């Protein structure tokens, strides 16, 4: 038996995860060709590297197909409504910091807060005959946040990438997405509503509470976590 460790298969999250483990004496590497999703672990026995999409890691942990996984807090909270029952947070990794925010066109001078958005949404519906559209891939988190803050006159529009572009493309009036430097928002003439972020996220190491652990697995896990902590 082995402990399965799920790590993002590409991009900045993969590179920084490899660095973070490497600094703690556990070397993770992609093997095979550039396009092959195969990996190797050195520095600890009995651990298998599974390369996955960052967005799939929460569900793989929740189903117990992997024992450990690295992904953002945002993706865990979005995909797993009862995440605390299914996952244990082992360690925040200190990278991949980003805020989930709501943004509107910079030219909406009267809209700076959620209250303003609520008023603008009512006016929008009266003027246009349909609800103001908020584009996002974080459906659950945004719906909960807006409900909690009493904003009801809106509709969510799904956007799985390049979300800041939807306002220019006239498929939505507002967006909810992750930002770190704010450059993408500025470049697309959007401004963040001033009530603080919906959620602050960072890359985190998680352990599945529902995966099966044999006695040898428990030994491997404890040796690995000793190195990492
Ligand atoms: N600009 C950013 N700065 C820091 N972290 C970010 C940034 N954009 C996204 N992230 C974080 O990286 C993680 C992965 O993001 P995302 O879901 O966009 O993955 P992806 O690279 O599109 O991968 P995949 O589509 O394979 O799931 C998320 O936890 C997210 O918060
Ligand atoms: O605040 P910034 O530093 O400009 O970063 C924000 C951007 O980073 C992420 O996109 P990513 O590059 O992952 O691409 P995506 O739009 O395809 O998700 C996010 O969705 C924003 O678009």
Domains of the chain and any CATH numbers:
3-97+202-228 (3.40.190.10), 98-200 (3.40.190.10)
The residues, ordered by sequence, that sit 6+ positions from 148 with a Cβ below 8 Å of its Cβ are none
What is the C-alpha radius of gyration for the chain, rounded to an integer number of angstroms? 20
Give the ipTM of the model, two decimals please.
0.94
| pTM for this prediction | 0.95
Q: What is the average per-residue pLDDT within 84-102?
A: 98
User: Ligand 1 pocket, 163 CB below 6 A?
Assistant: no
Burial class (CB in 10 A: 0-12, 13-18, 19+), 194: exposed
Place of tokens 């550039």: 34
pLDDT for residue 61 is more than 80: yes
How would you list the strands of the sheet with 87-92, edge to edge?
A: 47-52, 3-8, 68-72, 203-208, 87-92
Asked whether the beta carbons of 50 and 4 are under 8 A apart, the reply is yes
CA distance 81 to 85: 9
Q: What is the average per-residue pLDDT within 199-217?
A: 98
Token output for 26: 């556990």
Token output for 139: 């459906």
Instruction: Calculate the alpha carbon distances from 40 to 5, 6, 43, 130 in Å.
Output: 11, 12, 10, 52
Supply the residue whose CA is at minimum distance from atom 13 of ligand 2.
161
185-195 tens-digit pLDDT:
999 999 999 99
* Ligand 1: centre distance to CA 103 (Å): 18
* Ligand 2: centre distance to CA 189 (Å): 15
Q: What is the average per-residue pLDDT within 160-165?
A: 96
User: Ligand 2 pocket, 27 CB below 6 A?
Assistant: no
User: Ligand 2 pocket, 97 CB below 6 A?
Assistant: no
What is the reported pLDDT for 25?
A: 97
* Ligand 2: centre distance to CA 204 (Å): 18
* Ligand 1: centre distance to CA 12 (Å): 8
User: Ligand 1 pocket, 96 CB below 6 A?
Assistant: yes
Asked whether the beta carbons of 174 and 133 are under 8 A apart, the reply is yes
More confident residue, 178 or 34: 178
For the ranges 33-37, 41-45, 201-205, which has the lowest average pLDDT? 33-37
Residue 32 binned pLDDT confidence (cut-offs 50, 70, 90): confident
**Percent of the chain having pLDDT more than 90?**
94
What is the maximal distance between C-alpha atoms in the chain?
Answer: 65
pLDDT for residue 8 is more than 90: yes
Residue 35 binned pLDDT confidence (cut-offs 50, 70, 90): confident
The residues, ordered by sequence, that sit 6+ positions from 144 with a Cβ below 8 Å of its Cβ are none
Nearest-atom number in ligand 1 for the CA of 73 is 29
The residues, ordered by sequence, that sit 6+ positions from 98 with a Cβ below 8 Å of its Cβ are 72, 74, 178, 179, 180, 201, 202
Residue 92 binned pLDDT confidence (cut-offs 50, 70, 90): very high
């Amino acid at each position: 038996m082995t402990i399965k460790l799920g790590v993002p298969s590409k991009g900045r999250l993969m590179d920084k995860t490899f660095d973070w483990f490497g600094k703690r004496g556990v070397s993770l590497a992609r093997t095979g060709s550039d396009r092959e999703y195969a990996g190797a672990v050195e520095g600890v026995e009995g651990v298998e590297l599974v390369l996955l999409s960052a967005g799939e890691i929460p569900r793989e942990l929740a189903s117990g197909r992997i024992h450990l996984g690295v992904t953002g807090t945002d993706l865990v909270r979005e995909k797993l409504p009862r995440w605390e029952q299914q996952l244990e947070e082992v360690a925040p990794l200190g990278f991949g910091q980003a805020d989930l925010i709501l943004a509107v066109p910079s030219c909406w001078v009267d809209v700076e807060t959620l209250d303003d958005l609520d008023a603008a949404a009512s006016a929008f519906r009266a003027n246009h005959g349909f609800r103001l559209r908020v584009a996002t891939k974080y459906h659950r988190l945004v719906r909960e946040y807006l409900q909690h803050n009493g904003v009801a006159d809106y509709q969510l529009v799904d956007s799985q990438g390049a979300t800041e572009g939807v306002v220019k493309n006239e498929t939505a009036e507002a967006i909810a997405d992750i930002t770190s430097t704010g450059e993408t928002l500025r470049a697309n003439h959007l401004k963040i509503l001033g009530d603080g972020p919906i959620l602050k996220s960072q890359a985190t190491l998680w352990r599945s509470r529902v995966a099966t652990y044999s006695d040898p697995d428990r030994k491997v896990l404890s040796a690995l976590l000793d190195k990492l902590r």
